[in-house]
Amino acid sequence: MAGDMILVVDFGGYQARTMARMLRSDSVYCEIARPREALRTLNRSQCKGVLLAGEAADEALVDAGILAANRPVLAMGGAARGLCRALGGDDLGLQAEKKTALLSFADLPLFRGLVESDRYLNRVDMLELPQGVKPAAFAEGGMTPAFALEEKKIYGLQFYAEVNDPDGLRILHNFAYDVCGCEPWWRLDSFAEEAQKRVREAVGNGTALISISGGVDSAVCAVLAHRAVGAQLKCVYVNTGLMRLGETELVKQMFQSLGMELICVDATERFLQRLKGVADADEKRDAVADEMLHVVADKAAEIGEVDCLIQGTIYPDVLSERSSDNSAANDRRTLKDHIRFRRLLEPLRVLFKDEVRALGRVLDMPEELIHRQPFPEAGLAVRCLGEVTREKLAILGRADAIFREEVADAGLDKRIWQYFAVLTDVKTRGIRDGVPASEYALALRAVSSKDAISANYYRLPYDLIERVVERVTAEVPGVGRVLYDVTGKPPAMIEWE
């Protein structure tokens, strides 16, 4: 990216991402790098300052090259303790933990606008500050929650600016603008224009191809690319037969309303064949992912020469790919290994998920396309426990549709992160039409979450649950019992398989 940038070095934990998001929302462009990649990233960018954020208090992670690069450095949390030692000081051990203390601040540009107030300190160690480094924040008991080497613009804060802190954004704002001198340039409307220009230049008079899943990322990416090159973009959508009831028609309609024609491939038979006899969840996921590559590749071959393959990769995908030491994940073959093309374009590669949604709004996409529930790649295959059959899929699809309809009628559809039905592989004893019956047990899952990393079960009203149970058992032959899953994540995952 051309333009001023803050380099956020990830010292472990969630802080690097949270702070990067806060900076971006304050119009400051930033990128996240792991400690050993930090200097390389700094050298290849218009880096105006470095934020070391995270829990690891290891001085070995503080690259001497970064400290010598003549850029302001702000370390927070464990990284500040690592920085203290890297500068020649020492960490003499824990002084205070999980406590609120009245903090006052030295008169520095970094703290401009901050007032003395209570702050939550997750952990403060007793530090022996290196020569020339001064305490920069003060609290009872002689604690040094922050320190500064002002002439080099190097700062350490043992507390995280973003946690329970009324001035969290203020400190990051001061650092980026007043200490580092960043220009505010990061805006999604200008990003959209730039990204379209790049797509236009790359595609030229050629053909571009994108595979659309119905999810947010590929949808926003496709709309962006379509605005750039119009009908030169071929959008392939595969109906795997593992979609929710009515999903394919809905996706088609939504894109049609945006003036885009999808090339829809009905590959239900192929997927069902591929899943025959496969009962293990991981094997089902692999089978669906692999079949999808082949179906899209076959369609691409029919379309003819593809100049640009466009993918809706987003920044969290890039970060998790990078941090994955799991070679199986890295070895996984993707569409780009199956299609012949001249150039790969990933226009959303630098965007966080909420930025992708915001970009969708900049592109005037309908809210229902921007705010879709997360849906596994393997679709209903992992909500249909055990071997997937046409009969089980039909039962699950209908039951799930009834559940969704009732949630929407109760006006809860926008309030629940995810809600869906799961068809267990258990047949239970019951009575239907007065005779003994053996039918499937179906589970209802509804969870609230911010990021899917953890989740609470959503407390659905009992009368809603009762309505769903009545309707499902009456309208969907094959379901003889309905369960309501009230397990949080952890210990349970959101998806059953």
Which is nearer to ligand XMP, 169 or 452 (by Cβ)? Answer: 452
Which is nearer to ligand XMP, 60 or 493 (by Cβ)? Answer: 493
Q: Does 377 bind ligand XMP (CB under 6 A)?
A: yes
Cβ 218 to ligand XMP, closest distance in Å? 10
Which is nearer to ligand XMP, 250 or 452 (by Cβ)? Answer: 452
Contact region with ligand XMP (CB under 6 A), list: 84-92, 180-188, 468-476, 488-496: 488-496
- What mask of x and - would describe binding to ligand XMP in positions 253 to 292, judged by CB under 6 A? --------------------------------x-------
Q: Does 247 bind ligand XMP (CB under 6 A)?
A: no
Cβ 452 to ligand XMP, closest distance in Å? 4
- What mask of x and - would describe binding to ligand XMP in positions 428 to 467, judged by CB under 6 A? ------------------------x---------------
Cβ 451 to ligand XMP, closest distance in Å? 9
Handedness of CA 305, 239, 317, 192 (dihedral sign): positive
Burial class from Cβ neighbours inside 10 Å (0-12, 13-18, 19+) for residue 273 reads: exposed
Which is nearer to ligand XMP, 309 or 381 (by Cβ)? Answer: 381
Kindly write down the DSSP assignment for every residue of 314-345, as one continuous string: -HHHHHHHHH---HHHHH---GGGTS-EEEEE
Cβ 487 to ligand XMP, closest distance in Å? 11
Which is nearer to ligand XMP, 453 or 474 (by Cβ)? Answer: 453
Closest among 309, 285, 333, 284 to 221, alpha carbons compared? 309
Query: Both tokens of residue 287?
Result: 């089978």
Kind and range of the H or E run holding 220:
helix 216-229
b/e string for 107-127 if b means 16 or more Cβ within 10 A?
Answer: ebebbeebeeeebebbbbbeb
Name, in order, each residue with C-beta under 8 angstroms of 421's C-beta and a sequence gap of 6 or more.
383, 396, 399, 400, 403, 442, 443, 444, 445, 472
Task: Determine the 3-state secondary structure of 492 from DSSP.
Answer: coil
The interface with ligand XMP within residues 390-429 (CB under 6 A) comprises 418
From CA 241, how far away is CA 239, in angstroms rounded? 5
Binding test (CB under 6 A) with ligand XMP, winner from 376, 386, 430, 488: 376
Binding test (CB under 6 A) with ligand XMP, winner from 136, 378, 380, 444: 378
Contact region with ligand XMP (CB under 6 A), list: 20-28, 150-158, 178-186, 489-497: 489-497
From CA 383, how far away is CA 406, in angstroms rounded? 19
Q: Does 374 bind ligand XMP (CB under 6 A)?
A: yes
Q: Does 193 bind ligand XMP (CB under 6 A)?
A: no
Q: Does 165 bind ligand XMP (CB under 6 A)?
A: no
Q: Does 353 bind ligand XMP (CB under 6 A)?
A: no
Contact region with ligand XMP (CB under 6 A), list: 102-110, 147-155, 247-255, 376-384: 376-384
Closest among 431, 363, 436, 425 to 396, alpha carbons compared? 425
Residue 66: phi and psi, rounded to 5, are -70, -40
Q: Does 324 bind ligand XMP (CB under 6 A)?
A: no
From CA 481, how far away is CA 430, in angstroms rounded? 8
Q: In what order do the strands lie in the sheet with 341-345?
A: 262-266, 233-239, 208-212, 306-310, 341-345
Q: Does 493 bind ligand XMP (CB under 6 A)?
A: yes
Q: Does 489 bind ligand XMP (CB under 6 A)?
A: yes
Kind and range of the H or E run holding 445:
strand 435-448
Query: Both tokens of residue 184?
Result: 């505010």
Residues found near ligand XMP in the complex (CB under 6 A): 285, 374, 376-378, 418, 452, 489, 493-495
